[in-house]
Amino acid sequence: MENLITLDMVNKNESSLERIFTSLQLNILKKRLQKKELDANERTYYYKYIKPKLKAMFSFFNISEINIMGREYMIDDRIAKAVEILNKIKKKHKNKRIMISGSFLFNKNYNDIDVFIFTKYEKEDYKKGKMHVNFLPENVIDSLFFSSLSEVSISNFYYIHKNEFNVELNNVLQNYELLINSILNKENYQKELRDFLLNTEYISTGVILNTKQLYNLRRKINRTRIISNTLINALILGYNKNKLNSLKKYIAGYRELLKQYKSSNLNEYIQTYEKVIEIAA
């Protein structure tokens, strides 16, 4: 809950806060907000006196169980707005796990406010004004996508962050092939590009890019050659030679298809996969 407060907010409002907190308590709160280690005494003060007071203050604004991740990436005034939206949605979708993520939190310009509701039952997504409500199955919480999404997010629930994922080679190839296909067909490919960048970064470095990092990276990548080269590097770093040899069967299949179809995407796949095999050899 203290992640709704910044050090700047405490400094600016110190004279008013002194009516609620003692100066010792304020100093401990500041130390906590600076992510400095508290000693045993300070920890006792924090949990016994400071946190309950904060909780009571927030209860006036109907704020409870708010989990803010990646606060440093967010625009300050969007946090309050997102909490307000979250509280409104909580009333409509009672007892549901709800998360707000996406460019609304960190970018001056945004198209939608992405709201994710995790539910056991399938439901139709809907749009209301700028708000885009997406219903996702609860098992998504264990996915690489969720780990990325939640790194910069505001939600009404706490979760154990999963950091290790098994990303199958076939899934990476499918993702790459759809991305190239969408680009060559001159369709909107932002979703495919986001998945592609998330997967390739994870398999090659083990790093889970957050939504802001993905947003910035997506704006820089607009050429198939860059994408294909990214895939080549990721596959070589992420999979062993034996695994990569399975690309040979796909190359053969695409060569066969090229006899019947003049599909420019197939040529791109063949060139890329041949390069992977050549470097991995």
Partner 1 sequence: MQHEEAREIIKEILNDIKFEGHFDKCFDNLKESQQKELIKWVKECKDHKISLIQSKKDRNLIGFVKKFGSNLRTILTKEKEGYFLVLFLDKHKYYEFEMLKLGF
Residues that bind partner 1 (CB under 8 A): 125, 134, 170, 173-174, 177-178, 181-182, 184-185, 187-188, 249-250, 253-254, 257, 260-266
Closest to partner 1 by CB, 126 vs 157, is: 126
CB of residue 200 to partner 1, shortest distance in Å: 17
CB of residue 212 to partner 1, shortest distance in Å: 22
3 state SS of 171: helix
Plot region of 208 (φ>0 → left; ψ -120 to 50 → alpha; else → beta): beta
Closest to partner 1 by CB, 146 vs 254, is: 254
Give the span between the Cα atoms of 89 and 53, in whole angstroms.
Answer: 26
What residue type is assigned to position 111 of the chain? N
Closest to partner 1 by CB, 23 vs 174, is: 174
Closest to partner 1 by CB, 46 vs 176, is: 176
**Run of H or E including 182:** helix 169-184
Work out the number of other CB atoms within 10 angstroms of the CB of residue 211: 24
The answer to whether 160 and 147 have CB atoms below 8 angstroms apart is no
**Which tokens in the block code for residue 28?**
């401990």
Closest to partner 1 by CB, 84 vs 125, is: 125
CB of residue 67 to partner 1, shortest distance in Å: 25
**Which tokens in the block code for residue 228?**
């294909």
CB of residue 187 to partner 1, shortest distance in Å: 5
Closest to partner 1 by CB, 147 vs 265, is: 265
Closest to partner 1 by CB, 187 vs 278, is: 187
Q: How far is CA 177 from CA 2, 170, 190, 273, 280, in A?
A: 44, 10, 14, 11, 20
CB of residue 178 to partner 1, shortest distance in Å: 7
**Which tokens in the block code for residue 206?**
């083990």
In which residue are the tokens 């979760």 written?
159
Instruction: Pick the closest to residue 145 from 165, 128, 159, 125 (CA basis).
Output: 165
Q: What is the DSSP string of 22-55?
A: -HHHHHHHHHHHTTPPP-HHHHHHIIIIIHHHHH
Q: What are the phi and psi torsion angles at 128 (to 5°)? A: -140, 105
CB of residue 209 to partner 1, shortest distance in Å: 20
Closest to partner 1 by CB, 54 vs 173, is: 173
The partner residues of 153 in beta bridges, in order of sequence, read: 69, 101
